[in-house]
């Protein structure tokens, strides 16, 4: 059975993939190897996980304004996430995905989920995102 959740679009697009749920926020600057898509932040709990082609689920980003360029570069190389689900708005993550779409034609939908839906989203192993101009849906397999 598929469960459909409402979300807010930060960057439009559509994607479906296996999830990578982060237990802590990630700074792409110094935290992601854009050449491989691997998390390289030595203190991050998900160090060595690869986000390439997966939907990244994290509560929020963790700064450095240069993180936008690292995310955009990973998307350009095809090593970035297929989509991103956040619980808190993050301008750095959003700008990185917007730049990749504008400069490279690489789409990575970024959506904002609600606190009420967060447990279901982080428990899903596979998500489908459909992000329109303003609103988005997140489909998850409820088993």
Calculate mean pLDDT across residues 90-113.
96
CB 136 within 8 A of CB 8: yes
- Known active-site residue 27: no
State what percent of residues in the chain have pLDDT above 70.
99
Give pLDDT tens digits for 17-38.
Answer: 999 999 999 999 999 999 999 9
Confidence of residue 141 (pLDDT cuts 50, 70, 90): confident
In the prediction, which pLDDT does 61 show? 87
Distance CA 1, CA 53 (A): 24
Mean pLDDT across 92-111: 96
- 142 pLDDT tier (thresholds 50, 70, 90): low
Helices (H), the chain: 67-77, 91-99, 115-123
Catalytic residue among 14, 52, 64, 66: 64
Sorted by where each starts, the structural domains of the chain and their CATH numbers stand as 2-141 (3.50.30.10)
């Amino acid at each position: 059975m598929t469960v459909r959740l409402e979300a807010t679009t930060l960057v439009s697009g559509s994607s479906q993939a296996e999830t990578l749920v982060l237990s802590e926020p990630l700074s792409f600057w110094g935290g992601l190897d854009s050449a491989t898509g691997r998390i390289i932040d030595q203190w991050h709990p998900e160090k060595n996980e690869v986000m390439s082609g997966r939907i990244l689920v994290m509560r929020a980003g963790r700064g450095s304004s240069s993180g936008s360029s690292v995310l955009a570069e990973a998307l350009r190389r095809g090593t970035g996430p297929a989509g991103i689900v956040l619980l808190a708005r993050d301008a750095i993550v959003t700008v990185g995905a917007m730049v990749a779409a504008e400069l490279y034609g690489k789409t990575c939908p970024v959506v904002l989920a609600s606190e009420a839906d967060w447990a279901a989203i982080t428990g899903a192993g596979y998500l489908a995102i459909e992000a329109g101009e303003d609103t988005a849906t997140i489909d998850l397999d409820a088993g």
